[in-house]
Amino acid sequence: MCAFMHSRLLSKFQSLPAFLVVLWTTCISTALAPAAARNAVVILVDDLGWRDLSCMGSPVYETPHIDALAASGMLFTDGYAPSSICSPSRAGILTGSQPSRHGVYTVVKNRGKEAEWKVVPKQNRKFLPKDYPTIGTVLSDAGIANGTIGKWHVAVSSPSHGFAEGKWGGYLGLPINYFAPFKLGFLPKDVPEGAYLPAFIRDAGTDFLERHKDERFFLYFSTYLPHDEINNEGEDPDAEGMFRLAAPEPVVEKYRKKIAAMQRAGEDLQGHDNPVYAAMIEETDRSVGAIIDKLDELELREKTLVLFISDNGGLSKYTSNRPLRGEKTTLYEGGIRVPVIASMPGEIVAGRISHEPISGIDFYPTLCTFFGVKPSDPAKVDGEDLSKLLFDGKPLGERNLFWNFPSYNDPQVPARGPRSALRRGDWKLIHRYEDDGYELYNLNTDIGETTDLSAGRPEILQNMRQHLEASYQRFGAAASLPPNPAYRAD
- The residue among 366, 436, 400, 486 whose CA lies nearest residue 113 is 486
Q: Residue 173's pLDDT band (boundaries 50, 70, 90)?
A: very high
Query: Distance between CA atoms of 204 and 166, rounded to whole angstroms?
Result: 10
Q: Which pLDDT band, with edges at 50, 70 and 90, does 241 fall under? A: confident
d(CA 196, CA 250): 13
- Collect all residues with Cβ–Cβ distance below 8 Å to 97 and sequence separation of at least 6: 91, 132, 361, 364, 380, 381, 382
Across 434-462, average pLDDT: 98
| pLDDT above 90 coverage of the chain, percent | 89
- Per mean pLDDT, which range of 241-245, 302-306, 419-423, 457-461 is the poorest? 241-245
- 482 upstream amide cis, omega within 30 of 0: no
Confidence tier at 21 by pLDDT (50, 70, 90): very low
For the four alpha carbons of 137, 140, 146 and 151, in that order, the dihedral sign comes to: positive
One-letter-per-residue 3-state SS of the chain: CHHHHHHHHHHHHHCHHHHHHHHCCCCCCCCCCCCCCCEEEEEEECCCCCCCCHHHCCCCCCCHHHHHHHHCCEEECCEECCCCCHHHHHHHHHHCCCHHHHCCCCCCCCCCCHHHCCECCCCCCCCCCCCCCCHHHHHHHCCCEEEEEECCCCCCECCCCCCCEEECCECCCCCCCCECCCCCCCCCCCCCCCCEHHHHHHHHHHHHHHHCCCCCEEEEEECCCCCCECCCCCCCCCCCCCCECCCCHHHHHHHHHHHHHHHHCCCCCCCCCCHHHHHHHHHHHHHHHHHHHHHHHCCCHHHEEEEEEECCCCCCCCCCCCCCCCCCCCCCHHHHECCEEEECCCCCCCCEEECCCEEHHHHHHHHHHHHCCCCCCHHHCCCCCCHHHHHHCCCCCCCEEEEEECCCCCCCCHHHCCEEEEEECCEEEEEECCCCEEEEEECCCCCCCCCCCCCCCHHHHHHHHHHHHHHHHHHCCCCCCCECCCCCCC
Reply yes or no on whether the pLDDT at 375 is more than 80.
yes
Pairing outcome for strands 165-167 and 340-343: unpaired
Total Cβ atoms within 10 A of residue 221: 27
Q: How many CB atoms lie within 10 A of CB 462?
A: 9
Q: Which of 312, 337, 385 is nearest to 78 (CA)?
A: 337
User: What backbone phi and psi angles, to 5 degrees, belong to 198?
Assistant: -55, -30
pLDDT at residue 125, rounded to an integer? 97
Q: pLDDT category, 29, cuts 50, 70, 90?
A: very low
The pLDDT tens digits of the residues spanning 282-309 come to 999 999 999 999 999 999 999 999 999 9
**For the chain, which residues make up each domain, given as ranges?**
2-401
pLDDT confidence of residue 232 = 82
pTM above 0.85, yes or no: yes
Pairing label, strands 400-405, 419-424 = antiparallel
Confidence category of residue 15, pLDDT binned at 50, 70, 90: very low
CB contact set of 103 (below 8 Å; sequence gap of 6+) = 122, 123, 124, 125, 129
Positive or negative torsion for Cα 381, 387, 388, 394? positive
- pLDDT at position 37 is 54
Strand partners, 423: 401, 428
| Chain segment 193-213, per-residue pLDDT in tens | 999 999 999 999 999 999 999
Mode of pairing for the β-strands spanning 358-359 and 79-80: parallel
- Cα separation, 358 vs 81, whole angstroms: 9
Taking only the tens place, the pLDDT of each residue in 347-364 is 999 999 999 999 999 999
Kind of pairing, strands 79-80 and 340-343?
Answer: unpaired
Q: How far is the CA of 475 from the CAs of 80, 209, 329, 380, in angstroms?
A: 18, 36, 21, 9
**Can you say how many angstroms the Cα of residue 245 is from the centroid of all Cα atoms in its chain?**
19
Look up the CATH architecture of domain 2-401.
3-Layer(aba) Sandwich (3.40)
pLDDT number for residue 36? 53
Which has more pLDDT, 238 or 132?
A: 132
**How confident is the model at residue 422, as a pLDDT?**
98
pLDDT of residue 477: 98
pLDDT at 100 over 50: yes
d(CA 222, CA 212): 18
Max intra-chain CA distance, the chain = 64
Residue 206's pLDDT is 98
**What confidence score (pLDDT) does residue 490 get?**
82
Closest CA to 322 of 84, 9, 70: 9
Read off the pLDDT of residues 120-142 as tens digits, 9 standing for 90 and up. Answer: 999 999 999 999 999 999 999 99
Q: Is a pLDDT exceeding 50 seen at residue 13? A: no
